[in-house]
């Protein structure tokens, strides 16, 4: 059977800034950053955000991704979504990705909420007819009311979150990528969103969920990926990982030249 998602020896290295070596040493000392520091004559600093990530998901797998802040969870989702190109290794995706990673990603602040629904849908390769056929359902679920015809730049982060969530969970979700579910929004909408996700989990062909909530991961996912400092600590059955006793000591991604 062809895997739904497959990552083989995936690394991601990207430049952050260029500073004088002495200044960098002071920064590292002050921030107590873990990992190796190497440099060459250029003094250009890079972060190895992901290192040797290997996993494969089959149809109907639900993958939970956990790790401390800076472990690489969101970066991994962006690699799977195609936002970042891996430095080394290969990624194979057999399906259409619907993602809610960065709430502002894909939103045009100068467009209205309604126009952004069409914009986001087209970015996902959907026809205008399909988007318009689902327009009222999306607007109704977002609870934005008359704000839907106002520019997104006046929206609060919670309103933007509701709009993006309504779009990505309505327009043919195939493989869902979710980062912490909803980071903003009122309690009533978050409860409604969780119910929507519960129904979608059974319909989507695959799910990758990054979260700090181990109870959410255990309740939703059958597979688990544990990251620490950009490296893969564990991949396998979610029930075979001891969330209390096996948590790795947090490390940050490695700085390299």
> For each successive 10 residues of the chain (257 residues), what is the average pLDDT?
94 72 49 44 74 95 92 93 93 87 78 95 82 94 95 92 84 79 65 78 86 85 94 95 77 63
pLDDT score, position 185: 57
What is the β-pairing status of strands 223-228 and 62-66? parallel
Burial pattern 44-78, b for ≥16 Cβ within 10 A else e, equals ebbbbbbbebebebeeebbbbbbbbebbbbbbbbb
Model pLDDT, residue 151: 97
Q: Which residue, among 78, 70, 128, 130, has the nearest Cα to 99 in the 3D structure? A: 78
Helices and strands, number each (H, E), in the chain: 8, 10
Beta strand 175-179 pairing with 97-100: parallel
Q: How far apart are CA 230 and CA 26, in angstroms?
A: 23
Beta bridge partners of 207: 62, 176
Residue 35 is predicted with a pLDDT of 39
What pLDDT shows up at residue 194? 75
């Amino acid at each position: 059977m062809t895997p739904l998602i497959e990552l083989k020896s995936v690394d991601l290295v990207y430049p952050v800034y260029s500073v004088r070596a002495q200044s960098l040493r002071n920064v590292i000392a002050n921030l107590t950053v873990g990992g190796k520091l190497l440099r060459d004559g250029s003094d250009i600093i890079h972060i190895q955000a992901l290192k040797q990530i290997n996993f494969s998901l089959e149809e109907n797998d639900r993958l939970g991704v956990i790790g401390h802040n800076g472990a690489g969870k969101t970066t991994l989702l962006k690699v799977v979504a195609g936002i970042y190109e891996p430095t080394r290794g290969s990624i194979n995706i057999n399906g259409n990705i619907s993602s809610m990673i960065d709430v502002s990603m894909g939103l045009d602040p100068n467009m209205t909420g309604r126009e952004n629904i069409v914009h986001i849908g087209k970015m996902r390769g959907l026809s205008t007819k399909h988007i318009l056929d689902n327009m009222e359902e999306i607007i109704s679920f977002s609870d934005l009311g008359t704000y839907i015809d106002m520019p997104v730049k006046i929206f609060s982060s919670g309103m933007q979150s509701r709009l993006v969530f309504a779009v990505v969970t309505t327009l043919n979700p195939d493989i869902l990528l979710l980062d912490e579910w909803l980071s903003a929004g009122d309690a009533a909408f978050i409860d409604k969103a969780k119910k929507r996700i519960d129904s979608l989990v059974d319909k989507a062909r695959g799910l990758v969920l990054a979260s700090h909530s181990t109870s959410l991961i255990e309740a939703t996912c059958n597979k688990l990926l544990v990251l620490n400092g950009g490296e893969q600590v564990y991949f396998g059955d979610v029930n075979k990982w001891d969330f209390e006793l096996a948590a790795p000591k947090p490390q940050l991604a490695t700085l390299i030249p």
